[in-house]
Amino acid sequence: MITAGLTGGIGSGKSTVAKVFNSLGVPVYNADSEAKKMYDIHSSLLDDIRKKVSPDVFDENGKLDKKKLAEAIFSDKDKLKAINGLVHPLVKKDFINWQKKHSGVNFIILESAILFESGFNTACDTVITVFMPEELRIQRLRERDRKNRADIEKIIASQISEEEKMKRSDYVIKNDEVELIIPQVLALNDILSKSVESKIKEVNAGDHSK
């Protein structure tokens, strides 16, 4: 089985690509979505956030205000590092358990906007980056999420550049309103499936030679 990391900056269309892979029968683990669930699953995580990030990200009833948390971490690199240090180990453990449940398939997708920043890329055999020009990403996010430009730019600044992601990736899917996404995903799905089949044949040939 191959684990393919799927990444791309905020607004790049990464989740759309993941949905296409999933429609082809490829299991997808969305690390970003699962990370958000950790706040509800692990009560001790909230205590750690109060101590290591800020007590100000909780409302008057003691409930975590995720909007305040996002504002805090994207404005302060130390707070971002602290929250990542708390959440990422929990997500990695959850992913390993999920991965074991899908051991019978050819390949799986580990989707994460911060695949390299979190170190999740070390759990992958190959990495795919979805690329969209920054100005187009900002435009789409302003229309989709009604975010202002300054907030979007803060999030973009907290992630490594698209150029760096592409350098560190094995494959790039372009989402630039010129090239179509689906044909690129279909081609990549074929490449990865054949890669797994080739590895299986190599293993079987090695077993027979003993």
The H or E element containing residue 134 is: helix 134-145
> In percent, how much of the chain has pLDDT > 70?
93
Based on the domain organization, do 120 and 90 belong to the same domain?
Answer: no
Q: Pick the last residue of a domain from 44, 69, 101.
A: 101
Based on the domain organization, do 49 and 86 belong to the same domain?
Answer: yes
Question: What 3-state DSSP class applies to 5?
Answer: strand
* 10 close to 159: Cβ distance less than 8 angstroms: yes
CATH code where residue 123 lies: 3.40.50.300
- Note the pLDDT tens digit of each residue in 48-79: 999 888 899 998 888 899 889 988 888 888 89
Measured CA to CA, the distance from residue 171 to residue 131 in angstroms comes to 10
* 156 close to 33: Cβ distance less than 8 angstroms: no
- Number of domains into which the chain is organized: 2
Q: Is residue 202 scored above 70 in pLDDT?
A: no
Mean pLDDT of the chain: 89
Q: Pick the last residue of a domain from 56, 73, 101.
A: 101
Most confident of 52-61, 152-161, 167-176: 167-176
pTM score of the predicted model = 0.86
Q: Is residue 176 scored above 60 in pLDDT?
A: yes
* 37 close to 159: Cβ distance less than 8 angstroms: no
Q: Is residue 209 scored above 80 in pLDDT?
A: no
Residue 121 is encoded by which pair of tokens?
Answer: 């890329």
Based on the domain organization, do 202 and 112 belong to the same domain?
Answer: yes
Measured CA to CA, the distance from residue 17 to residue 181 in angstroms comes to 7
Based on the domain organization, do 96 and 116 belong to the same domain?
Answer: no
Based on the domain organization, do 2 and 57 belong to the same domain?
Answer: no
Residue 36 is encoded by which pair of tokens?
Answer: 């958000």
- Residue 194 has a pLDDT of 87
More confident residue, 71 or 121: 121
Judged by average pLDDT, the poorest of 107-111, 121-125, 132-136, 150-154 is 150-154
* 10 close to 137: Cβ distance less than 8 angstroms: yes
101 — pLDDT class (breaks 50, 70, 90)? very high
Q: Is residue 10 scored above 60 in pLDDT?
A: yes
Q: Pick the last residue of a domain from 101, 128, 160.
A: 101
Residue 180 is encoded by which pair of tokens?
Answer: 């179509």
Domain span at 178: 1-27+106-210
